Amino acid sequence: MKNTFSRRGLLTTLGAAAAGVLSFAAARKAKAAIKTVFVRTNAPKDYNPYDHKWLMCFDVDKCIGCGLCVDACKKENHVPEGPTYFRNWIERYIIKKPKPGSDAARGEVIVDSPNGGRDGFPPTTIPREEILKSFFVPKLCNLCEHSPCTQVCPVGATFDSPDGAVLVDPNYCIGCGFCIQACPYGCRFLNPETKTAEKCTLCYHRITRGLKPACVEICPTEARIFGDLKHPVENDPIQNFIQKNKVNSLKPHLGTDPRVLYANLDKEVR
Protein backbone atom coordinates (compact mmCIF):
# COMPACT_ATOMS: atom_id res chain seq x y z
CA MET A 1 0.00 0.00 0.00
CA LYS A 2 2.79 2.32 0.99
CA ASN A 3 4.52 1.73 -2.33
CA THR A 4 1.37 2.43 -4.31
CA PHE A 5 1.18 5.76 -2.56
CA SER A 6 4.81 6.49 -3.33
CA ARG A 7 4.18 5.97 -7.02
CA ARG A 8 1.22 8.30 -6.88
CA GLY A 9 3.39 10.74 -4.96
CA LEU A 10 6.03 10.51 -7.64
CA LEU A 11 3.52 11.27 -10.37
CA THR A 12 2.16 14.20 -8.37
CA THR A 13 5.65 15.56 -7.93
CA LEU A 14 6.35 15.21 -11.65
CA GLY A 15 3.05 16.95 -12.45
CA ALA A 16 3.79 19.77 -10.05
CA ALA A 17 7.26 20.20 -11.55
CA ALA A 18 5.76 20.35 -15.05
CA ALA A 19 3.18 22.93 -13.91
CA GLY A 20 5.97 24.95 -12.32
CA VAL A 21 7.99 24.95 -15.53
CA LEU A 22 4.92 25.93 -17.56
CA SER A 23 3.97 28.85 -15.32
CA PHE A 24 7.59 29.98 -15.37
CA ALA A 25 7.36 29.90 -19.15
CA ALA A 26 4.17 32.00 -19.08
CA ALA A 27 5.82 34.60 -16.87
CA ARG A 28 8.85 34.79 -19.16
CA LYS A 29 6.53 35.02 -22.15
CA ALA A 30 4.75 38.06 -20.67
CA LYS A 31 8.09 39.67 -19.97
CA ALA A 32 9.22 39.00 -23.54
CA ALA A 33 6.02 40.54 -24.92
CA ILE A 34 6.71 43.75 -23.04
CA LYS A 35 10.32 43.62 -24.15
CA THR A 36 9.44 43.40 -27.82
CA VAL A 37 7.87 46.85 -27.75
CA PHE A 38 10.18 48.76 -25.46
CA VAL A 39 13.63 47.29 -25.48
CA ARG A 40 16.64 47.18 -27.79
CA THR A 41 15.47 49.10 -30.80
CA ASN A 42 18.12 51.85 -30.94
CA ALA A 43 15.31 54.39 -30.52
CA PRO A 44 15.66 57.33 -28.11
CA LYS A 45 13.74 57.00 -24.87
CA ASP A 46 11.12 59.61 -25.72
CA TYR A 47 10.24 57.95 -29.04
CA ASN A 48 6.73 56.51 -29.07
CA PRO A 49 6.36 53.82 -31.77
CA TYR A 50 2.55 54.07 -31.55
CA ASP A 51 2.68 57.66 -32.71
CA HIS A 52 4.14 56.88 -36.17
CA LYS A 53 3.45 54.73 -39.21
CA TRP A 54 6.32 54.67 -41.67
CA LEU A 55 5.88 54.01 -45.35
CA MET A 56 8.43 53.57 -48.16
CA CYS A 57 7.62 54.06 -51.85
CA PHE A 58 9.67 53.62 -55.02
CA ASP A 59 9.28 55.14 -58.43
CA VAL A 60 10.89 52.46 -60.61
CA ASP A 61 11.19 54.84 -63.55
CA LYS A 62 13.37 57.21 -61.55
CA CYS A 63 15.98 54.68 -60.41
CA ILE A 64 19.20 54.94 -62.43
CA GLY A 65 21.01 52.04 -60.75
CA CYS A 66 23.87 54.21 -59.44
CA GLY A 67 24.18 52.05 -56.30
CA LEU A 68 24.69 54.96 -53.89
CA CYS A 69 21.81 53.71 -51.74
CA VAL A 70 23.43 50.27 -51.37
CA ASP A 71 26.76 51.83 -50.46
CA ALA A 72 25.17 54.27 -48.01
CA CYS A 73 23.28 51.45 -46.31
CA LYS A 74 26.39 49.28 -45.98
CA LYS A 75 28.32 52.14 -44.39
CA GLU A 76 25.54 53.55 -42.20
CA ASN A 77 24.53 50.19 -40.75
CA HIS A 78 27.92 48.44 -40.73
CA VAL A 79 26.52 45.72 -42.97
CA PRO A 80 29.17 42.99 -43.43
CA GLU A 81 31.28 43.41 -46.54
CA GLY A 82 30.94 40.80 -49.23
CA PRO A 83 28.53 40.16 -52.08
CA THR A 84 26.05 38.10 -50.09
CA TYR A 85 25.02 40.48 -47.30
CA PHE A 86 22.63 43.27 -48.21
CA ARG A 87 19.94 45.19 -46.37
CA ASN A 88 19.04 46.81 -49.68
CA TRP A 89 20.10 46.12 -53.25
CA ILE A 90 19.26 47.04 -56.85
CA GLU A 91 18.24 44.65 -59.60
CA ARG A 92 18.67 45.33 -63.32
CA TYR A 93 16.00 43.89 -65.58
CA ILE A 94 16.71 43.50 -69.28
CA ILE A 95 13.74 42.34 -71.30
CA LYS A 96 14.73 41.15 -74.76
CA LYS A 97 12.67 41.50 -77.90
CA PRO A 98 10.79 38.35 -78.87
CA LYS A 99 12.63 36.10 -81.28
CA PRO A 100 11.83 36.73 -84.96
CA GLY A 101 8.74 34.76 -85.93
CA SER A 102 7.65 34.39 -82.31
CA ASP A 103 4.15 35.50 -81.36
CA ALA A 104 5.19 36.39 -77.81
CA ALA A 105 4.83 39.98 -76.65
CA ARG A 106 8.31 40.02 -75.13
CA GLY A 107 11.40 37.88 -75.12
CA GLU A 108 13.72 36.47 -72.48
CA VAL A 109 14.04 38.33 -69.17
CA ILE A 110 17.57 38.70 -67.82
CA VAL A 111 18.10 39.91 -64.26
CA ASP A 112 21.35 40.69 -62.49
CA SER A 113 22.60 42.46 -59.41
CA PRO A 114 26.41 42.37 -59.32
CA ASN A 115 27.52 43.06 -55.75
CA GLY A 116 23.97 44.15 -55.04
CA GLY A 117 24.40 47.01 -57.51
CA ARG A 118 26.72 48.77 -55.06
CA ASP A 119 29.28 49.64 -57.72
CA GLY A 120 26.72 50.45 -60.37
CA PHE A 121 26.14 48.13 -63.32
CA PRO A 122 28.66 47.19 -66.03
CA PRO A 123 27.48 47.64 -69.63
CA THR A 124 25.48 44.64 -70.73
CA THR A 125 26.87 42.23 -73.33
CA ILE A 126 23.46 41.89 -74.96
CA PRO A 127 23.40 43.76 -78.31
CA ARG A 128 21.35 46.93 -78.10
CA GLU A 129 19.06 45.95 -80.99
CA GLU A 130 17.97 42.81 -79.12
CA ILE A 131 16.79 44.73 -76.05
CA LEU A 132 13.13 45.65 -75.78
CA LYS A 133 13.49 47.59 -72.54
CA SER A 134 15.58 47.79 -69.41
CA PHE A 135 15.04 49.20 -65.95
CA PHE A 136 16.32 49.11 -62.37
CA VAL A 137 14.36 48.02 -59.30
CA PRO A 138 15.52 48.92 -55.78
CA LYS A 139 14.70 46.29 -53.16
CA LEU A 140 14.64 46.23 -49.38
CA CYS A 141 12.51 44.78 -46.55
CA ASN A 142 8.89 44.99 -47.72
CA LEU A 143 7.60 45.97 -44.26
CA CYS A 144 4.81 43.40 -44.51
CA GLU A 145 1.67 44.02 -42.48
CA HIS A 146 1.41 40.24 -42.14
CA SER A 147 5.09 39.45 -42.03
CA PRO A 148 5.86 35.74 -42.44
CA CYS A 149 9.33 36.26 -40.95
CA THR A 150 8.11 37.45 -37.55
CA GLN A 151 5.40 34.80 -37.56
CA VAL A 152 7.90 31.95 -37.63
CA CYS A 153 10.56 33.27 -35.22
CA PRO A 154 10.65 30.66 -32.43
CA VAL A 155 11.56 33.13 -29.68
CA GLY A 156 10.04 36.41 -30.87
CA ALA A 157 13.47 38.00 -31.42
CA THR A 158 12.18 39.57 -34.61
CA PHE A 159 8.97 41.55 -34.29
CA ASP A 160 6.66 44.06 -35.92
CA SER A 161 7.12 47.42 -34.29
CA PRO A 162 3.84 49.40 -33.99
CA ASP A 163 5.34 52.07 -36.25
CA GLY A 164 5.59 49.59 -39.13
CA ALA A 165 9.28 48.70 -38.94
CA VAL A 166 10.18 45.01 -38.70
CA LEU A 167 13.11 44.70 -36.32
CA VAL A 168 15.49 42.05 -34.97
CA ASP A 169 16.92 42.01 -31.46
CA PRO A 170 20.44 40.67 -32.05
CA ASN A 171 20.91 39.97 -28.36
CA TYR A 172 17.94 37.65 -28.36
CA CYS A 173 18.08 35.98 -31.80
CA ILE A 174 19.19 32.34 -31.63
CA GLY A 175 20.35 32.23 -35.25
CA CYS A 176 18.12 29.40 -36.47
CA GLY A 177 17.53 30.99 -39.88
CA PHE A 178 13.80 30.23 -39.96
CA CYS A 179 12.92 33.89 -40.66
CA ILE A 180 15.39 33.98 -43.54
CA GLN A 181 13.67 30.96 -45.09
CA ALA A 182 10.24 32.48 -44.50
CA CYS A 183 10.94 35.87 -46.12
CA PRO A 184 9.57 35.65 -49.68
CA TYR A 185 11.70 38.57 -50.84
CA GLY A 186 15.19 37.43 -49.84
CA CYS A 187 15.62 40.47 -47.61
CA ARG A 188 17.26 38.75 -44.66
CA PHE A 189 20.66 37.19 -44.12
CA LEU A 190 22.63 35.62 -41.31
CA ASN A 191 25.31 38.04 -40.15
CA PRO A 192 28.58 36.05 -40.24
CA GLU A 193 30.00 37.97 -37.28
CA THR A 194 27.09 38.07 -34.87
CA LYS A 195 25.56 34.79 -36.15
CA THR A 196 22.12 36.38 -35.95
CA ALA A 197 19.51 37.32 -38.54
CA GLU A 198 19.83 40.80 -39.98
CA LYS A 199 17.67 42.98 -42.23
CA CYS A 200 16.71 46.53 -43.15
CA THR A 201 15.51 48.49 -40.11
CA LEU A 202 14.61 51.60 -42.15
CA CYS A 203 17.67 53.04 -40.33
CA TYR A 204 15.69 52.92 -37.11
CA HIS A 205 18.36 54.87 -35.24
CA ARG A 206 17.85 57.72 -37.74
CA ILE A 207 14.09 57.77 -38.32
CA THR A 208 13.37 57.75 -34.59
CA ARG A 209 15.41 60.96 -34.37
CA GLY A 210 13.63 62.78 -37.17
CA LEU A 211 16.07 61.86 -39.97
CA LYS A 212 15.46 59.96 -43.19
CA PRO A 213 16.91 56.49 -43.85
CA ALA A 214 20.40 56.68 -45.37
CA CYS A 215 19.28 55.26 -48.73
CA VAL A 216 16.50 57.85 -49.06
CA GLU A 217 18.81 60.67 -48.01
CA ILE A 218 21.40 59.84 -50.63
CA CYS A 219 19.19 58.94 -53.62
CA PRO A 220 20.07 61.53 -56.33
CA THR A 221 16.86 61.06 -58.34
CA GLU A 222 14.33 60.93 -55.51
CA ALA A 223 13.30 57.45 -56.60
CA ARG A 224 12.73 56.67 -52.92
CA ILE A 225 9.96 58.42 -51.05
CA PHE A 226 9.72 57.97 -47.31
CA GLY A 227 7.28 59.37 -44.82
CA ASP A 228 5.07 59.07 -41.76
CA LEU A 229 1.39 58.39 -42.42
CA LYS A 230 0.45 59.65 -38.95
CA HIS A 231 2.19 63.00 -39.40
CA PRO A 232 1.61 64.21 -42.96
CA VAL A 233 3.47 67.42 -43.77
CA GLU A 234 2.25 70.13 -46.06
CA ASN A 235 2.30 68.95 -49.69
CA ASP A 236 3.24 65.51 -48.31
CA PRO A 237 5.41 63.58 -50.81
CA ILE A 238 4.01 60.20 -49.72
CA GLN A 239 0.39 61.32 -50.12
CA ASN A 240 1.19 62.92 -53.49
CA PHE A 241 2.95 59.79 -54.67
CA ILE A 242 0.04 57.51 -53.84
CA GLN A 243 -2.46 59.94 -55.31
CA LYS A 244 -0.63 60.42 -58.60
CA ASN A 245 0.56 56.88 -59.28
CA LYS A 246 -0.97 53.49 -59.69
CA VAL A 247 1.02 51.59 -57.09
CA ASN A 248 1.74 47.91 -56.69
CA SER A 249 3.64 45.67 -54.28
CA LEU A 250 5.85 42.62 -54.73
CA LYS A 251 4.29 39.13 -54.68
CA PRO A 252 0.84 40.38 -53.62
CA HIS A 253 -0.62 36.87 -53.98
CA LEU A 254 1.22 35.75 -50.84
CA GLY A 255 -1.02 37.91 -48.67
CA THR A 256 1.87 39.56 -46.85
CA ASP A 257 0.44 43.01 -47.59
CA PRO A 258 3.73 44.90 -48.00
CA ARG A 259 3.89 48.58 -47.06
CA VAL A 260 6.71 49.14 -49.55
CA LEU A 261 4.90 50.35 -52.64
CA TYR A 262 6.17 50.60 -56.21
CA ALA A 263 5.01 52.83 -59.04
CA ASN A 264 5.58 51.68 -62.64
CA LEU A 265 6.35 48.10 -61.59
CA ASP A 266 6.67 45.57 -64.40
CA LYS A 267 5.01 42.19 -64.01
CA GLU A 268 8.38 40.44 -64.39
CA VAL A 269 9.60 41.85 -61.08
CA ARG A 270 9.38 39.33 -58.24
Closest CA to 187 of 220, 158, 218: 158
- Using CB under 8 A, which of 78, 128, 253, 267 touches other proteins? 253
Between residues 128 and 267, which has the closer beta carbon with respect to other proteins?
267
Our finding on whether 187 is near other proteins (CB under 8 A) is yes
Contact between 115 and 83 (Cβ < 8 Å): yes
Element holding 38 (H helix, E strand)? helix 2-38
**Binding marks (x or -) toward other proteins, 7..46, rule CB under 8 A?**
x--x-------x-----xx--xx-xx--------------
**Residue 64 or 176 with smaller CB distance to other proteins:** 176
Q: How far apart are CA 118 and CA 69, in angstroms?
A: 8
CA nearest to 55, candidates 225, 232, 243: 225
Residue 125: how many other CB atoms lie within 10 Å = 5
Q: Which of 41, 113, 201, 208 binds other proteins (CB under 8 A)?
A: 113
Q: Lay out the sheet containing 88-96: strands in order across.
A: 109-112, 88-96, 131-140
Pairing of strands 260-263, 54-59: parallel
Interface of this chain with other proteins, residues 51 to 90, rule: CB under 8 A: 81-86, 89
Among 112, 130, 222, 257, binds other proteins (CB under 8 A): 112
Question: Which member of 152, 229, 242, 247 binds other proteins (CB under 8 A)?
Answer: 152
Q: Which residues is 248 bridged to in the sheet?
A: 262
Q: Which residues bind other proteins (CB under 8 A)?
A: 3-4, 6-7, 10, 18, 24-25, 28-29, 31-32, 81-86, 89, 91, 109-116, 118-119, 139, 148, 151-157, 172-178, 180-190, 194-196, 253-255, 270
